[in-house]
Amino acid sequence: MTSGVVLVTGLALILIGMWGLLTHRNILRIVIAFSLMGTGTHIMIVATGYVTNGTAPIIDRALTLSEAPARAVDPIPSALVVTAIVIGLAVTAVMLAYAIRLYQSKKTLSIDSFTESKW
Amino acid sequence: MMRKISAVLVVVFFGLVFSSLAINFTERQSLRPLAESYVKLVPQDLGAPNVITGILLTYRGFDTLGEVAALFMAAAAVGLLLGTSDKGRGGSPAELSERPKPSSEIVQSGAQILVPLISIFAAYIIMNGHRSAGGGFQGGAVIASSVLLLVLASPRYRVDLDFFSMTESAAGVIFVLVGIAGLIFAGGFLDSRVLPIGQFGAFISAGAIPILSVLLGVKVGCELSVIVDRFRA
């Protein structure tokens, strides 16, 4: 149940990001929409790893070694998303760097004025 | 108008696909076999209480190396895109006159207090990656946030790019060397059992995982700091 709500939230974020990507003409808004899509994907992946009544897979006083396989959530999606978040930051940085260069060349951020590679 | 309609169509189509995904989703009641073996193996075999760190740095250590390479590529791309416009800055008198304005008293004092605290917190996160929530990626991002605060507080502060790239390369080389040591002395590339596992849950334990965590944290922190510095106006 809990993970279902989180999953739907993540999917909704992906859809919102997709809508923003397709309708907005300002490059900065497109970058924001892209990050929103990425965040939605991360939330969705983490939600698929949830196990009912599970807790973080860290062995300590609250979660002993013997009961860990029964009560821990799936660690693999979390491990994937940890790296994906940092990579997402780097990708956003590259997109923003492109935005700066495009602004320097045309003095505008509207994607409609970049028609060289349009077919 | 046409564009808007097609956008609506695409979003509705993906919404349908996603809704079937959400309707058919059932929460898991138990772990998958692979996840279960990870949850059992990481504490027993590697001696790391934090299963995720164990997966990241040992079982999927090669993937992590690839991720760090992707991060390095992103830093290089940002440098390529923004670095050339940096040249000749401060040269012409027109540009000298539009030096960035100094930040306000509050931001400067806040940075003086917060930057050391953030750095200590980052070191804590990195060093406790094998025992509790934390690890190299997270700590590296925190380091970059302290650099960002420093750049915001004193716009004249220049990040020493040579130092950062040297440190980053050294961390990367040592990371690979530890991996090769795993190949020679233990089960395979990036096997953390080249060092004694030690007492479960102790500060110095879990073989080479703390060392790999520190190297990863330094590498990620340097790369993100360089990216942050490139975006200076």
- Rounded CA-CA distance A75/B38 in Å is 8
Per the structure, the complete domain to which residue B132 belongs is given by 34-81+105-230
pLDDT on residue B91: 45
**Which candidate in B20, B42, B51, B53 is best for mutational testing of the A interface (most A CBs within 10 A)?**
B51
The range of the structural domain enclosing residue A94 comes to 2-55+64-113
What chain A residue is nearest to B4 in terms of C-alpha separation?
A23
All residues of chain B having their beta carbon less than 8 Å from the beta carbon of residue A51 are: 27-31
Across chain B, mean pLDDT equals 81
Q: How far is CA A111 from CA A29, A30, B3, B6, B99, in A?
A: 10, 9, 14, 18, 30
Candidates A74, A101, A105, A111, partner chain B, best to mutate (most B CBs within 10 A): A74
- Using CB atoms, which residue from B10, B18, B55 is nearest to A11? B18
* Residue B105: predicted pLDDT: 85
Q: Is residue B91 part of a domain?
A: no
Nearest residue, CB atoms, A86 vs list B82, B220, B230 = B220
What pLDDT is stored for residue B171 in this prediction?
87
List B residues 82-111 in contact with A (Cβ-Cβ < 8 A). Answer: 82, 85
Residues B132-142: b if buried by 16+ CB within 10 A, e if exposed? bebbbbbbbbb
Instruction: Express each pLDDT in A31-60 by its tens digit.
Output: 999 999 999 999 999 988 888 887 888 877
pLDDT for the residue B100: 67
- Ranges of chain B whose pLDDT falls below 50: 88-94
**A 4-43 near B (Cβ less than 8 A):** 4, 7-8, 11, 14-15, 18-19, 22-23
Residue A75 domain-assigned (yes or no):
yes
A52 touches chain B (CB under 8 A): yes
- Give residue B98's pLDDT: 59
CA–CA distances in Å: residue B78 to residues A95, A96, B4, B72, B75: 9, 9, 33, 10, 5
Is 50 exceeded by the pLDDT of residue A1? Answer: yes
Q: What CATH number is given to the structural domain containing A40?
A: 1.10.287.3510
Number of compact structural domains in chain B: 1
Q: Which two tokens stand for residue B106?
A: 């509050």
Selected residues 2-31 of chain B with any CB under 8 Å from a CB in chain A? 3-4, 6-7, 10-11, 14-15, 18-19, 21-22, 25, 27-31
> Can you give the pLDDT at residue B92?
46
The pLDDT > 70 percentage for chain B reads: 92
pLDDT value at residue B118:
92
Judge whether A108 lies within some domain.
yes
Other Cβ atoms within 10 Å of A24 Cβ, number? 17
Which chain B residue lies closest to A63 (C-alpha atoms)?
B49
Task: Assess B173–A contact: CB distance below 8 Å, yes or no.
Answer: no
> With contact defined as beta carbons under 8 Å apart, do B155 and B147 qualify?
no
Between B83 and A82, the more confident residue is A82
Q: Would residue A118 count as lying in a domain?
A: no
* Number of compact structural domains in chain A: 1
User: What pLDDT, on the 0 to 100 scale, is given for residue A30?
Assistant: 92
pLDDT in tens, A56-74: 888 777 777 777 777 888 8
Backbone angles phi, psi at A55, to 5 degrees: -135, 175
Per CB-CB distance under 8 Å, the chain B contacts of A87 are 67, 70-71, 74
Alpha-carbon distance of A57 to B130, in angstroms, equals 12
Query: Would you call B28 helix, strand, or coil by DSSP?
Result: strand
Residue B41 to residue B58: CA distance in whole angstroms: 11
Neighbours of B100 (CB within 10 A): 10
Does residue A51 lie in a domain region? yes
Task: Give the closest of A18, A87, A90 to B14, CB-based.
Answer: A18
**pLDDT digits 0-9 by tens, A4-26:** 888 999 999 999 999 998 888 88
Domain-located, residue B93 = no
User: Would B15 be classed as within a structural domain?
Assistant: no
pLDDT of residue A36: 93
Please report whether residue A35 resides in a domain.
Answer: yes
Residues of chain B contacting A11 with CB distance shorter than 8 Å:
18-19, 21-22
Q: What is the ipTM of this complex?
A: 0.79
C-alpha to C-alpha distance for A90 and B140, rounded to whole angstroms: 13
Coil, strand or helix at B50: strand
Of A69, A82, A96, the CB nearest to B31: A69
Enter the pTM of the model.
Answer: 0.81
